[in-house]
Amino acid sequence: MRSNGSSLSTIVNMPKRDESVMDNNENRLLIERNYKRDEQGGMFFVHVFGGTGKTFLWSILGADIRSRGDIVLNVASSCIAALLMEGGRTTHSRFSIPIHVNEYTTCSIDVNSHLADLIREARLIIWDEAPMMNKYCFETLDRSLRDIMRKGMGSGFWRKGFGFGGGDFRQILPVVPKAGRVGK
């Protein structure tokens, strides 16, 4: 645009990034309180309506942590959401979660693999659209994290920094088991 003598400021009604999620004091405290230089890990869930800037929040939080030389893994429950995140991948792809999960499944991650090392080194794992996953996916990953993190760093989700998001439950359709297209 500049080479043609124009700029974005000349466009009338140019949409601007909605930064309302950053204006929320709870979200600001979340960043300031939970992810300074402590090694405790922890979990949080960002619950906001769709379109209020969760992806922006994730990118700011990730950039802050990466600026200190730490590792952030961005994952999402859907491929579309993963594409919007820096270095994002689906949770099934990143953590080798099986497609069919139950109360006994584990991820196929060797504790001596490069992926296990990456997970151990990660300061924060951001999981967008978390409510869209089956509870067994979380339990499967938790069992695997217990194996991976066993080497002196504690266990499971609680010793790794996890940020879950996707809070607009109005966007999740109800599932009626064994129902047809019309329902029962």
- What radius of gyration do the chain's Cα atoms show? 19
Segment 144-171 shows an average pLDDT of 70
* Cα–Cα distance for residue pair 73/119, rounded to 1 Å: 8
The pLDDT value given to residue 81: 85
The pLDDT value given to residue 104: 93
Instruction: Sort strands 71-76 and 161-165 into parallel, antiparallel or unpaired.
Output: unpaired
More confident residue, 40 or 96: 96
Taking only the tens place, the pLDDT of each residue in 58-99 is: 888 888 888 989 999 999 988 888 888 989 999 999 999 999
The DSSP secondary-structure symbol of 11 reads: S
The DSSP secondary-structure symbol of 2 reads: G
Helix (H) or strand (E) holding 78: none
Segment 47-64 shows an average pLDDT of 82
* Cα–Cα distance for residue pair 87/167, rounded to 1 Å: 22
The pLDDT value given to residue 152: 43
What CATH code is assigned to 15-169? 3.40.50.300
* Cα–Cα distance for residue pair 90/168, rounded to 1 Å: 19
Q: How far apart, in Å, do the first and last CA atoms of the chain sit?
A: 56
Segment 161-165 shows an average pLDDT of 84
Within 10 Å of residue 173's Cβ, how many Cβ atoms? 7
Amino acid type, 126: I
More confident residue, 20 or 51: 51
- Predicted model pTM: 0.70
